[in-house]
Amino acid sequence: MSMNIEECVRVSLQNYFHDLGGEVPSNVYEMVIRLVEKPLLEEVMLQADQNQSKAAEWLGLNRNTLRKKLLEHGVLESRRNRG
């Protein structure tokens, strides 16, 4: 049985807090958003055949906002370097 995204995030966070071993976490929200956003953008771009307009529509984002996020995460650079 596979986990849905919500369950994956929950289990990952439980493991993260467990692995801290009592240390106080910081910037957890920012960390999770950063770690989830990049694979989300990569996969949506892949499924949209690298079409930014289509991907932006699927994500419910303005195309310029999507482009900014792709650049922030290095998704556009890594795509260019691949081929």
List the CATH number of the domain containing 29: 1.10.10.60
Confidence bin at 9 (pLDDT 50/70/90): very high
How many distinct structural domains can be found in the chain?
Answer: 1
For Cα atoms 73, 58, 62, give the angle at the middle one, nearest 5 degrees: 65
Residue-wise pLDDT tens digits, 19-70: 999 999 999 999 999 999 999 999 999 999 999 999 999 999 999 999 999 9
Range of the domain at 55: 5-82
Helices (H), 1-83: 5-19, 28-47, 52-59, 63-72, 75-82
